[in-house]
Structures are given as structure tokens and as C-alpha cells.
Amino acid sequence: MKKNIVDLQGKLNALLHSYRDSFVEGAVADYIPALASVEPDFAGIAVATIDGKTVGAGDYQHAFSIQSISKIFGLVMAMNRLGDSLWQRVRMEPSGQPFNSIIQLEWEKGIPRNPVINAGALLVADVLTSHYSASKLAFLGFVRKLANNEDIRVDLDVYQSEFTHGNRNAALAYLMKSFGNIEAEIPDVLSHYFTQCSIAMSCEQLAQSLLFLANKGIDPLTKQVICSPKDAHRVNAILSTSGMYDQSGEFAFSVGLPAKSGVGGGLIAIVPNYGVICTWSPPLNSFGNSVVGMKLVEGIAEELGLSIY
């Protein structure tokens, strides 16, 4: 692999510039009204490496709504808390369905296909709500520790907007509860889930906070053990097969990295033993993935030869 950080800055600037014309493609998420007002032409990219360097271009220090990227943090917390019994309540298979689909959940008796579709993330939110006395604070504390930044906040406008327009997530949670796969009260589970989705972070902060997944579970900057090497492997495997929802196959085909998108327009890709790429551009395609973000990650992965396959 050609993984030289030298001139990475020039490559990121050039890539961002080359996709300027694509910024009009796709549409900003509007099913959460607070996200609909975000300027569509923000764009940033950051690459953080396990040797402690971070390089960025464009709006890489501008905080945005991390949305489904938060599912990674929740999953790691739940794995640490529950151990292998987590996998009796949620599976590790691609769903082949949109991220907020409900149809499969009834056929499969309230067991979500994986922890990064909404049903699976709500299940994880239930685990956290049930096992922490103050799960929202614990979650924020975990993210702040990983990002080494106490200023990371929840965007309360986004939180309110999600709660007001959260009927589909509520339906997923109630359906799972009807099968006995949710322990806590549904409003508490939803409140936890919407809180974690509403956290605002920049590309730089997200890339740095996920470095442990590129480094076998150890935060390379603080040397803290965040999860076991086995669990880091498992999270990366789930991100490879399901992180881009029903576009995960195409992403593996064209890029070849574990990745996760969010409807705020963020996208992270883990490069094992190297670092983390994070991009932000709000307009989404029909799968809920950032149009420009996918092009940027594909471009930098190709230029640096980063595919894991």
C-alpha cells in the first residue's frame, strides 16, 4: 500500500476541488426538518492517522449532525457492556433494505438484521438505556473521551426535530417490544437514540475519535483500550457489510473499506492499521449516503491504495 502522508494535504485540496461540480447532485435530508435548513454546499474531508497526524481540507472543522455515525459509538458501548449475549438480540447480516425499513423486522420476530440499521441501533439504545443509570450522559462522555474534547455537544434543535418527526423509529421500537426484544420504556429508548443522533462533530473530531477501530481497539493517541481487538474486527466487519445500507455492496466494490454514513451528510471510512477518513457534504442519494462524500472517499482510497481487499 502507498500510504505516504506527504502531500496528503495537496491531494485532499485537489479532490475537493474536482468534485465541486457534483455538489448540486442529491438532496439534503428533509424528513428531519432541522436538517433541511443546512447549506448544501458545505464540504470537508479529514484524514487522521494512527501516528497522530490529521490533515484536512474544506469545511473539515465545521460541526455537523453525526446522525447514524453515532451508531458506531453505541455499538461499541453495548458490546463492552453486554459481551457476546448482545448477538442473541441483534444479528450481523446485511439487511438489503433501506436504513429505516420495518418490513423485515416482523418476519424476523423483532430481531434486527444488524446494529447499524435504525431497528438495530434502537435495540442498542435499549441496551444502553437499561444498563446505565444516565445513558445519554454516559454516551456523550464516551464520545468526548474518544475525541479528547469536552466541548462536543448535542444539537437540541435537531433532537427536538427528530422527536417530533420520529414516528417510524417509534414504530420500530414498539414492534420490537411486542416481541419482547426491548426492555426499557419506549420514550426513554427513543430519547437516548435521538440524543446520540443529534450530537454535532466535525470531520476532524470524528476521524480522530474512531482511530481505535483502525488500531485493533486501542486509541493510538492516548493508548487507552476502547474495545478488544476481536470487537474492533467485528465492528469493522459490520461496517463493511452494512454501514452503507443497501449500497454496501457497491461501496465494497468501488472503495473497499469499512464505512458508515449519516443523513447529516457525514461519512467515515476505517483504514485498518493506517487511520480514518471522514467527509461531510449534506446532499444525499436515495440510499441516504452523501453523494460527494462517496466520491471523495473513493478518490482518496484509490489514490493512496487503501482498499482492504
* Cβ 76 vs Cβ 235: under 8 Å: yes
Q: What is residue 101's DSSP assignment?
A: -
Which of 71, 177, 216, 260 is labelled catalytic?
71
Confirm whether 309 is a catalytic residue.
no
Confirm whether 263 is a catalytic residue.
yes
Confirm whether 71 is a catalytic residue.
yes
Pairwise CA distance, residues 39 & 281, whole Å: 9
Rg (CA), the chain: 18
What are 277's three cell numbers?
A: 477518513
Which of 19, 60, 159, 193 is labelled catalytic?
193
Which single residue brings its beta carbon nearest to ligand DON? 68
Confirm whether 127 is a catalytic residue.
no
Q: Site residues (CB under 6 A) for ligand DON?
A: 67-68, 99-100, 118, 162, 169, 197, 261-263, 288
Secondary structure (3-state) at 83: helix
Query: Least CB distance from residue 254 to ligand DON, whole Å?
Result: 18
Query: Least CB distance from residue 162 to ligand DON, whole Å?
Result: 5
Query: Least CB distance from residue 55 to ligand DON, whole Å?
Result: 25
* Cβ 266 vs Cβ 29: under 8 Å: no
Confirm whether 281 is a catalytic residue.
no
Give the nearer residue to ligand DON in terms of CB position, either 169 or 205. Answer: 169
Decide the pairing of beta strands 64-65 and 199-201.
Answer: antiparallel
Binding-site positions for substrate: 68, 118, 162, 169, 193, 245, 263
Please report, as a single letter, which amino acid is at residue 239.
L
Buried b (16+ CB within 10 A) or exposed e, 279-293: bbbbbbeebbbbbbb
Binding-site positions: 68, 118, 162, 169, 193, 245, 263
Q: Which residue has the cell 411486542?
A: 178
- 75 alpha-carbon distance from chain centroid: 10
Query: Least CB distance from residue 198 to ligand DON, whole Å?
Result: 8
Q: Which residues are catalytic?
A: 68, 71, 193, 245, 263
